Amino acid sequence: MTDQDVRDFLERMAVEEPAPFLDPAPLTRRARRRAARTVVFGALGAAAAIAALFVGVSELREASPTVPAIDPTPTPAAVASGAIAYSLDGDIYVADPEGSNAVRIADSTTDARCEGISEYSMPSWSPDGTHLAFQRDCPTSDQTDVVITDPQGNIVTEVPRDGWGFSWSPDSTRIAVWETWPETVDVYGVDGEREESLALGPDVKVHNDASPMWMPDGSALLMDGVYEIPLDGGSPHEWGVGLLRRLEQVTYSADGTRVALIKRNSIDILDVADGTSVSTVAGLTDVDVWSPDGDRFASLAHGELNVVDVASGTVTVLTEARTALNGAKILGVRGFSPRGDRILYEAGDGVGGATALWSIGVHGSGARIVVAGTTQGDWRSR
Partner 1 sequence: MVADMEVDEGRADRMAEIYERSAPGGFRLAYLLTGDRAIAEDLVQEAFLRFVGRLHYLRDPEAFDGYIRRTIVNLSNDAFRRRAMERAYLERRTAELREDHTDRDVAAYQSMRAALLTLPPRQRAAIVLRYYEDLHESQIADLLRCRPATVRSLVARGLEALRQIPEVTT
Residues within the interface to partner 1 (CB under 8 A): 1, 3, 5-7, 9-14, 17, 19-20, 22, 24-28, 30-32, 34-35, 38-39, 42, 70, 72, 89-90, 109, 115-117, 119, 137, 139-142, 144, 161-164, 178, 180-183, 207-209, 286, 288, 300-301, 303, 331-332, 346, 350-353
Contacts of 215 (CB under 8 A, 6+ apart): 221, 222, 228, 252
Q: Strand order in 237-238's β-sheet?
A: 213-214, 220-223, 227-230, 237-238
In the complex, the smallest distance separating the C-beta of residue 139 from partner 1, rounded to whole angstroms, is 4
Closest separation in Å from C-beta 66 to partner 1: 19
Q: Considering the complex, what minimum distance in angstroms separates the CB of residue 220 from partner 1?
A: 23
Question: Which CB atom, from 273 or from 282, has the smaller least distance to partner 1?
Answer: 282
Q: Which is nearer to partner 1, 3 or 232 (CB)?
A: 3
Strand 103-106 vs strand 91-95: parallel, antiparallel, or unpaired?
antiparallel
Instruction: State the amino acid at position 215 in one-letter form.
Output: M
Quote the CA–CA distance of 259 and 272 in Å, as a whole number.
6
Supply the minimum distance, in Å, between the C-beta of residue 200 and partner 1.
Answer: 12
Nearer to partner 1, 26 or 275 (CB): 26
Considering only CA atoms, which of 262, 261, 205 is closest in space to residue 236?
Answer: 205
Using the minimum distance from each CB to partner 1, give the nearer residue, 179 or 271.
179
Minimum CB distance to partner 1 smaller for 278 or for 330? 330
Alpha-carbon distance 36 to 145, whole Å? 32
Shortest Å distance, C-beta 184 to partner 1? 10
Q: Contact 50/43 with Cβ under 8 angstroms?
A: no
Query: Shortest approach of partner 1 to residue 56 CB, angstroms?
Result: 27
CB closer to partner 1, 96 vs 137:
137
Q: How far is the CB of 116 from partner 1 (least distance, A)?
A: 3
* C-beta closer to partner 1: residue 136 or 338: 136
Of the pair 208, 314, the CB lying nearest partner 1 is at 208
With contact defined as beta carbons under 8 Å apart, do 211 and 165 qualify?
Answer: yes
From the list 155, 156, 237, the residue with the least C-alpha distance to 204 is: 237
Q: Is the dihedral of CA 288, 257, 239, 228 positive or negative?
A: positive
The CB-of-356 to partner 1 minimum distance in angstroms stands at 14
DSSP assignment string, 57-121: HHHHHHT--SS---BSS-------TT-EEEEETTEEEEE-TTS-S-EEEE-GGG-GGGTT--EEE
Nearer to partner 1, 48 or 278 (CB): 48
Distance CA 210, CA 224 (A): 6
The amino acid at residue 352 is: G
Strands 84-88 and 377-379: antiparallel
Task: Please choose, from the candidates 380, 325, 321, the residue with its C-alpha nearest in 3D space to the C-alpha of residue 86.
Answer: 380
CB of 346 to partner 1, least distance (A): 7
Residue 338 CB-half CA count within 13 A: 17
Choose between 198 and 278: whose C-beta lies nearer to partner 1. 198
The CB-of-335 to partner 1 minimum distance in angstroms stands at 14
Rounded to whole angstroms, how far apart are CA atoms 44 and 39?
9
